[in-house]
C-alpha cells in the first residue's frame, strides 16, 4: 500500500476527547462487523460506499455524512472495488453526553442514542470538513481547534434534537450483566461454560440471545472489546507487543491480524500520528 493510500490518524493529547481518521483510498480497507465505544461521524469525501448499520443498509457518496452510535455494530466497505475516500471523527461518549446535557438536549446526564444514520446536507458536510482542516492544520492554535469542535458538535446536536429518540432495547438483565462482565474481563481467557454459568443460559440460547441484543456473539463481542483495549494502549504510546498482551491477545501476530480486520489499519499505522495534511471540502450535492 502506497503512503498516500495508508489510513492516517490524528490525535492531540490536549484534545483527548476527539480523534480523526483519514482514508484516501477506501478500496484498500475492508471492515468486519464491529463497534466502537465512542460516538463517531464520518464524511465521504469522494466516491461512494456501502454502509451497513445494524440491520439497515445504505449507499453513501461524496458529500454524505454517516453517524454511528456507540456500541452499534456496523461496516463501511467499497462498492465493486470502486474508489472512495472518507474522514471519520471519533468522539468520547461521556464528553459528548456532557455537551448535550449542558445544552439542555438531554433530560439527564446519560447517553441517548441518535436516530439519524446519514445526512445529505452540503452545509453540514462543508462545516465538517472545515473542522477537520482546522484539527489537521499546524497553523491553528489550541483554542481555535477546541472552538471548531465544540461549535460543530453543539450545532449538530441541536439540529438533530428534533429527531425521534431511538427506543432503547429492553435487554434482559442477565445479558446486561454478562456484557458488563465481558467488558471488565476482556483481557482474560474466558470459556463458554463460564459465560453460561454467569448468565444462566444454555450455550446455544446464550449465543442466539446475545447476538439478538448486541449484534455480535459473545466471542465476537469479546474480540471487539480486546481490539478497543489495544487501540487505547496504542494511543497511549504502549509498544505493540505489550499492547497485544495487555489487551488479552496470545501474541503480537494475532493482535495485528485481528486489529486490521476490525480497524482496517495495522497497529503500526494507528500508532503513527498523521503529519499535518489539510483536506478541502467539496460540495458534491
Instruction: Give the CATH number, domain containing residue 237.
Output: 1.10.10.60
Nearest alpha carbon to residue 18 among 97, 98, 95, 91 = 91
pLDDT, averaged across the chain: 90
pLDDT digits (tens, 9 = 90+) for 100-120: 999 999 999 999 999 999 999
pLDDT confidence bin for 273, thresholds 50/70/90? confident
Q: φ and ψ at 10, to 5 degrees?
A: -115, 130
Burial 83-106 (b: 16+ CB within 10 A, else e): ebbbbbbbbbbebbbebbbeeeeb
What is the span of the domain harbouring residue 223?
Answer: 173-270
Distances (CA, A) of 127 to 9, 31, 69, 133, 284: 20, 27, 20, 10, 14
Among the candidates 167, 184, 203, a domain finishes at 167
Q: Is the domain of 134 the same as that of 243?
A: no
Among the candidates 134, 167, 200, a domain finishes at 167
Residue 278 lies in a domain: no
Residue 277 lies in a domain: no
Residue 123 lies in a domain: yes
pLDDT digits (tens, 9 = 90+) for 240-259: 999 999 999 999 999 999 99
Among the candidates 142, 167, 192, a domain finishes at 167
Neighbours of 64 (CB within 10 A): 24
Burial 185-222 (b: 16+ CB within 10 A, else e): ebbeebeeeebbeebebeeeebbebbeeebbbebebbb
The model's pTM is 0.86
Residue 177 lies in a domain: yes
Report pLDDT for 237: 92
Q: Is the domain of 21 the same as that of 160?
A: yes
pLDDT digits (tens, 9 = 90+) for 135-190: 999 899 999 999 999 999 999 999 998 776 666 678 999 999 999 999 999 999 99
Q: Is the domain of 80 the same as that of 206?
A: no
Q: Grid coordinates 458534491 are at which residue?
A: 284
Amino acid at each position: 500500500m502506497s503512503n498516500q493510500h495508508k489510513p492516517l490518524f490524528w490525535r492531540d493529547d490536549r484534545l483527548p476527547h476527539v480523534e480523526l481518521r483519514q482514508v484516501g483510498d477506501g478500496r484498500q480497507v475492508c471492515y468486519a462487523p464491529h463497534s466502537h465505544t465512542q460516538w463517531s461521524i464520518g464524511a465521504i469525501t469522494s466516491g461512494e460506499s456501502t454502509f451497513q448499520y445494524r440491520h439497515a443498509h445504505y449507499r453513501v457518496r461524496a458529500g454524505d455524512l454517516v453517524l454511528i452510535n456507540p456500541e452499534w455494530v456496523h461496516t463501511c466497505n467499497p462498492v465493486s472495488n470502486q474508489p472512495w475516500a472518507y474522514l471519520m471523527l471519533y468522539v468520547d461518549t461521556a464528553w459528548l453526553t456532557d455537551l448535550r446535557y449542558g445544552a439542555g438536549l438531554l433530560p439527564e446526564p446519560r447517553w441517548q442514542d441518535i436516530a439519524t444514520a446519514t445526512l445529505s446536507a452540503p452545509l453540514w458536510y462543508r462545516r465538517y470538513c472545515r473542522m477537520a482542516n482546522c484539527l489537521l492544520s499546524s497553523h491553528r492554535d489550541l483554542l481555535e481547534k477546541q472552538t471548531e469542535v465544540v461549535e460543530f458538535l453543539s450545532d449538530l446536536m441541536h439540529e438533530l434534537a428534533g429527531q425521534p429518540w431511538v427506543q432503547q432495547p429492553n435487554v434482559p438483565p442477565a445479558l446486561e450483566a454478562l456484557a458488563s462482565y465481558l467488558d471488565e474481563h476482556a483481557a482474560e481467557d474466558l470459556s463458554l461454560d463460564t459465560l453460561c454459568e454467569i448468565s444462566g443460559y444454555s450455550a446455544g440460547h446464550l449465543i442466539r440471545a446475545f447476538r439478538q441484543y448486541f449484534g455480535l456473539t459473545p466471542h465476537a463481542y469479546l474480540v471487539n472489546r480486546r481490539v478497543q483495549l489495544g487501540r487505547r494502549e496504542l494511543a497511549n504510546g504502549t509498544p505493540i507487543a505489550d499492547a497485544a498482551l495487555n489487551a488479552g491477545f496470545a501474541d503480537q501476530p494475532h493482535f495485528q491480524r485481528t486489529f486490521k480486520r476490525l480497524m482496517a489499519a495495522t497497529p503500526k499505522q494507528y500508532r503513527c500520528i498523521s503529519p499535518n495534511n489539510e483536506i478541502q471540502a467539496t460540495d458534491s450535492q
